[in-house]
């Protein structure tokens, strides 16, 4: 496998779970790069192949941008930085025969190839799963597409927003259609892309485990459309068991009350009362113990039936409280609740600092780049976060030299426009 000498940014302090695994990343945008970033965090060496000059499209998906100082690519988007930590960038034009040969050369030295081109695109270059695995039988090759390698939609392109719409996710997200502001709503993050990346990483880990036992490679066919179906979880089962498609329900829980978003004097909280004891504690905090004895509210079934009336009473009571004071009082009484934070408030939570979920990585030419790091914690193989997202082509010479391509050969490839360094 292709292994490089550790440099100043990759000081070895202990083995990570995927140390020794090498991944060739032909992914762009988010789903495939998210998968390979997970693998990089776990210790894999990830070699990201990018187009010369422009690189991954998401490098330009801003603002916001991190501004460089004295480097050729003087700005890189936050979008790119979010999904490409810990990788090495090699700028190769795979539309050229020389570029295709370089990629095959690198793949032969890797354990895993990940790509998310449209079905058939890489076959034109001899870089598809069938061609690569014929030449490298032990290779694990993961293709991420919108609709999979077969079926009536397999040639269609896909984007997270479109799959959220097609996949029913938007039909169960948002306020009820008959209420103000109701109707279909996408999730506020590219949730299908992210979950596709997670499923891809899990599938690759499973294939690596099988390869360790048998030596056999694998072809993984992962579709965003399929992931959308899998993500529906309990909502899918609700439909399959009843034949009735679920619809938007806002934040209100249909079976347990009070569970909803409630306004305080200066912000909103989530109340998640789960049983009659917790409801009694809530009443005690509010100084309305009589509500817990009221036949309209005494049991959960009664509260569900009278939820509109109960919601009105709670909103009236909460209006006198600040959000922080009410959350504190409810937490102390054991009533499940949470503030509805914006992202700044969330990142200001002391638990974020304690868990070290935000790190600052030193990026030459850019200074310190903030990163939200992996949530995975290992007691005996701790993860390290010391390599920021790469500049375009930053590691071309280094990676190709390790593959035996350097000196005049590298200069000629650069002059021919096949690579950039």
Q: Of 135, 103, 170, 73, which is closest to residue 390 (Cα–Cα)?
A: 73
Which string of DSSP letters, residue by residue, matches 333-394? HT--EEE---HHHHHTSHHHHHTT-EEEEEETTTEEEEEE------SSS------PPPPTTT
- The pLDDT of 317-330, averaged and rounded, is 97
pLDDT of residue 8: 40
Domain ranges of the chain: 22-231+355-420, 259-347
- pLDDT of 4 over the 70 cut: no
CA dihedral 119, 122, 126, 127 (to 10 degrees): -110
Half-sphere exposure of 361 (CA within 13 A, CB side): 22
- Alpha carbon distance 413, 97 (integer Å): 11
What is the per-residue pLDDT across 261-303, written as a single tens digit (0 to 9) for each? 999 999 999 999 999 999 999 999 999 999 999 999 999 999 9
pLDDT band for position 110 (cuts 50, 70, 90)? very high
Which string of DSSP letters, residue by residue, matches 77-112? EHHHHHH-TTEEEEEE-TTSHHHHHHHHHHHTT-SE
pLDDT band for position 68 (cuts 50, 70, 90)? confident
- Alpha carbon distance 13, 11 (integer Å): 6
Q: Of 421, 417, 395, which is closest to residue 106 (Cα–Cα)?
A: 395
The fold of the 259-347 domain, in CATH, is: formyl-coa transferase, domain 3 (3.30.1540)
- The pLDDT of 321-332, averaged and rounded, is 98
pLDDT of residue 69: 67
What is the per-residue pLDDT across 178-232, written as a single tens digit (0 to 9) for each? 999 999 999 999 999 999 999 999 999 999 999 999 999 999 999 999 999 999 9
pLDDT band for position 13 (cuts 50, 70, 90)? low
- pLDDT of 378 over the 70 cut: yes
pLDDT of residue 67: 84
The CATH architecture to which 22-231+355-420 belongs is 3-Layer(aba) Sandwich (3.40)
Active site residue 193: yes
Beta-carbon contacts of 151 under 8 Å, excluding residues fewer than 6 positions away, are none
Q: Return the sign of the alpha-carbon dihedral for residues 417, 122, 388, 410.
A: negative
Sheet containing strand 259-263, edge to edge, reads 259-263, 268-272, 337-339
Which string of DSSP letters, residue by residue, matches 227-270? HHHHHTHHHHHHHHHHS------TT--SSSSSEEEEE-SSSEEE
pLDDT band for position 70 (cuts 50, 70, 90)? low
Among the listed residues 193, 260, 266, 348, the single catalytic one is: 193
Asked whether this chain's domains 22-231+355-420 and 259-347 adopt the same fold, the reply is no
pLDDT of residue 364: 86
What is the per-residue pLDDT across 119-132, written as a single tens digit (0 to 9) for each? 999 999 999 999 99
pLDDT of residue 7: 44
- Alpha carbon distance 64, 201 (integer Å): 28
pLDDT band for position 365 (cuts 50, 70, 90)? confident
- pLDDT of 9 over the 60 cut: no
Calculate the alpha carbon distances from 131 to 137, 143, 154, 349 in Å.
Answer: 10, 13, 19, 50
pLDDT more than 70, % of the chain: 95
Beta-bridge partners for 114:
25, 142
pLDDT band for position 73 (cuts 50, 70, 90)? low
- pLDDT of 12 over the 50 cut: no
């Amino acid at each position: 496998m292709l292994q490089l000498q550790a440099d100043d940014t990759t000081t070895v302090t202990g083995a990570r779970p995927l140390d020794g695994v090498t991944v060739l990343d032909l992914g762009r945008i988010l789903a495939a790069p998210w998968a390979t970033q997970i693998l990089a965090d776990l210790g894999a060496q990830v070699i990201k192949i990018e187009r010369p000059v422009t690189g991954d499209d998401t490098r330009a998906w801003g603002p916001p941008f991190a501004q460089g100082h004295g480097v050729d690519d003087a700005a890189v988007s936050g979008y790119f930085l979010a999904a490409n930590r810990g990788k090495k960038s090699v700028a190769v034009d795979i539309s050229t025969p020389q570029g295709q040969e370089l990629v095959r050369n690198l793949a032969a030295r890797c354990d895993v190839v990940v790509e998310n081109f449209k079905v058939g695109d890489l076959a034109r270059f001899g870089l598809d799963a069938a061609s690569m695995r014929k030449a490298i039988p032990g290779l694990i090759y993961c293709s991420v597409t919108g609709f999979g390698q077969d079926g009536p939609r397999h040639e269609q392109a896909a984007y997270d927003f479109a799959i959220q719409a097609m996949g029913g996710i938007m039909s169960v997200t948002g306020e009820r259609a008959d209420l103000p502001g109701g109707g279909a709503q996408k999730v506020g993050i590219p949730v299908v892309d992210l979950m596709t990346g997670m499923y891809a990483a899990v599938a690759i880990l499973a294939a690596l485990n099988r390869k360790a036992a048998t030596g056999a490679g694998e072809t993984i066919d992962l579709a965003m459309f399929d992931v959308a179906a899998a993500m529906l979880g309990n909502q899918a089962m609700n439909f399959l068991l009843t034949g009735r498609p679920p619809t938007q329900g806002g934040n209100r829980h249909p079976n347990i009350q009070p569970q909803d978003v409630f306004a305080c004097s200066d912000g909103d909280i989530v109340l998640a009362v789960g049983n009659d004891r917790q409801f009694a504690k809530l009443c005690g905090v509010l100084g309305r113990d009589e509500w817990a004895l009221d036949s309209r509210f005494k049991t959960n079934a009664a509260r569900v039936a009278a939820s509109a009336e109960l919601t009105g009473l709670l909103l009236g009571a909460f209006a006198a409280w600040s959000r922080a004071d009410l959350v504190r009082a409810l937490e102390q009484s054991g009533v499940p609740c949470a503030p509805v934070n914006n992202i700044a408030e969330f990142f200001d939570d002391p638990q974020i600092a304690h868990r070290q979920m935000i790190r600052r990585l030193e990026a030459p030419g850019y200074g310190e780049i903030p990163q939200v790091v992996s949530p995975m914690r290992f007691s005996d193989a701790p993860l390290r976060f010391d390599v920021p997202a790469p500049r375009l082509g930053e590691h071309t010479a280094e990676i190709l030299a390790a593959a035996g391509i350097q000196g005049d050969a590298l200069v000629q490839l650069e002059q021919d426009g096949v690579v950039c360094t």
